[in-house]
Amino acid sequence: MAEDAVIKDEMVVQIEYQLTVEGEVIDSTDPEDREPIEFIQGQGHIIPGLEAELYGMQVGETRQVAVEAAQAYGGVDPEAYITLQRDDFPESMDPELGMVFEMNEPDGDTLLARVIGIEGDEVEVDLNHPLAGKDLLFDVKVVGLRPATDEELDHGHVHSHGEH
């Protein structure tokens, strides 16, 4: 078998996938409207538990990969629940139970927050990733594989669609 025929570090991998959580398909690539995902293997661009299982796979190969929460989005962080005041929300936004909104972190990242309780003027908010604490089941199919170029390795991302 040619050296470049199986997934290993520093190769550009394309996969189609379907993600099932608690028996429900919650995300997938779709040949009609969602391109396969593409990334450089070994650089932590996808969740670690999935990346680790891809080594050695070939184009056309399919695999079902179960990833425990700890190797996916981590456990539920009990400190990621905060209480906001209604006044903390912009006037245009009326907090409702179950509402998901973006919050800016001090470092400039945004994270998704979910309203889990409202009592008077106090709004309980969960900052955990929606998939925190969940075991994930991926059905993956390798649809493309090639060595990354020196430039791609240098930049740490794939250049297939004209990116630089």
The residue from 78, 120, 150, 164 that contacts Zn ion (CB under 5 A) is: 164
For 60, 122, 126, 136, the CA distances from 67, given in Å and listed in that order, are 21, 36, 23, 5
Q: How far is the CB of 156 from Zn ion (least distance, A)?
A: 8
> Which of 108, 155, 161, 162 is the binder for Zn ion (CB under 5 A)?
155
Choose between 37 and 80: whose C-beta lies nearer to Zn ion.
Answer: 37
- Minimum distance of Zn ion from residue 163's CB (angstroms): 6
Which pair of tokens denotes residue 146?
């090639």
Cα torsion through 82, 98, 105, 48, rounded to 10: 100
Stretch that binds Zn ion, among 50-58, 101-109, 116-124, 155-163 (CB under 5 A): 155-163
Scanning the structure block, which residue is given the tokens 């099932």?
Answer: 20
Size of the site for Zn ion (CB under 5 A): 2
Q: What is the dihedral of CA 10, 16, 19, 24, to 10 degrees?
A: 180
Give the total residue count for the chain: 164
83 vs 149, beta carbon nearer Zn ion: 149
Smallest gap from Cβ 6 to Zn ion, in A, equals 25
Report residue 69: phi and psi, to 5°. -50, -40
Give the range of 29-37, 48-56, 75-83, 154-162 binding Zn ion by CB under 5 A.
154-162
Count Cβ atoms below 10 Å from residue 95 Cβ, excluding itself. 16
Least separation, in Å, of the C-beta of 37 and Zn ion? 17
Shortest distance, position 76 Cβ to Zn ion, whole Å: 36
- Positions touching Zn ion (CB under 5 A) are 155, 164
